[in-house]
Structures are given as C-alpha cells and as structure tokens.
C-alpha cells in the first residue's frame, strides 16, 4: 500500500470544491488517513516547490499557494500515487480529459486545483513536510475486502 500527498489548492478551497474532490478519492476506494485545512507559509511553499526554483512560474506559484487556505490529505491505497494522478488529469485544466478532477472542474492553465505526489520518493518527502508522523493514521477498514480482491493472498 502506498500513501501519497494530495493538496487541494487555494482555487479548489475558494470555489467550495473540497467535499466533491475528497469524495472522488473515497469513491475510488482510496483511504484518507490524514487531512487538515491549513494556511501554507511562504517558507513551506518554497520548500515544497524547491525543485521549481529559478523557473519563470516559481514566484507566482509560491504566491498562489500562500494566498488562501489549502486542504492537505494523506491518501492510502494500492498504487495510490498512479491512481491519484490519473484521477487528477493533465496539469492544465484546458487540456485535462472530462472525468478527471481538472477536466471536470478546471479551465485555467495557472489555477489547477490539486497537487499530488508524482513518485514514492516525492510522496515520502512531501508527507513529512505537511504532516507529523502521528497525524497520518493507520487502521483497518472493513471494506478493504470489497475494494481489493485479496482472494489470491495478495492485493490485486
């Protein structure tokens, strides 16, 4: 099972889309194991997006991410990173396919509603930035046998 970081960005929060987007993750069968509404500090935004430092969009991205509260989530499931990124859709809302979060709710190439870790290494790093270890919980869900076929002794 993987755990990944999902951030519902300021535009998603301001547009009142938090519940609708979170529901998509739960409907898919992914487990929300950490969740909080927070205001990202400039320092945290700069650290989170440090790989983009020096790029033309970096300063605007940091300004945007600190402009309003965000909802950060730790989401767990089999192949959670790939599944989450597929659910998010293409980076730019204008290019995202219908049925994806960005495709259904976004049109902007700047305001793209959601962030999701793009690899296990990024997820590990990013989760530590936004959550203390005790804020990401583990518990067995009774529905797991209905979400994943484990009849063969492993998660499929």
Q: How remote is the C-alpha of 61 from its chain's centroid?
A: 16
Q: How far apart are the first and last CA of the chain?
A: 11
- Which of 48, 76, 102, 115 is catalytic? The answer is 115
Q: Please give the full DSSP string across 20-54, using - where no structure is assigned.
A: HHHHHHHHHT-EEEEEEEEPPPHHHHHHHTGGGTT
Q: Is 115 a catalytic residue?
A: yes
Q: CA-to-CA distance for 49 and 15, rounded, in angstroms?
A: 23
Residue closest to 128 by CA, chosen among 74, 91, 89:
74
Q: Please give the full DSSP string across 63-88, using - where no structure is assigned.
A: HHHTSS-EEEEEEEETTHHHHHHHHH
Q: Where in the sequence numbering do the catalytic residues fall?
A: 115
């Amino acid at each position: 099972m993987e755990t990944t970081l999902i951030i519902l960005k300021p535009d998603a929060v301001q547009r009142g889309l938090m519940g609708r987007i979170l529901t998509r993750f739960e409907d898919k069968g992914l487990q929300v194991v950490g969740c909080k509404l927070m205001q990202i500090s400039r320092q945290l935004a700069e650290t989170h997006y440090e790989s983009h430092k020096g790029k033309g969009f970096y300063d605007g991205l940091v300004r945007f991410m600190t402009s309003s509260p965000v909802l950060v989530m730790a989401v767990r499931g089999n192949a959670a990173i790939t599944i989450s990124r597929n659910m998010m859709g293409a980076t730019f809302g204008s290019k995202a396919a219908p049925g994806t979060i960005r495709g259904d709710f976004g049109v902007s190439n700047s305001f793209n509603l959601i962030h999701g870790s793009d690899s296990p290494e990024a997820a590990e790093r990013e989760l530590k930035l936004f959550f203390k270890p005790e804020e990401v919980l583990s518990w067995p869900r009774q529905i797991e046998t209905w979400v994943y076929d484990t009849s063969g002794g492993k998660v499929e």
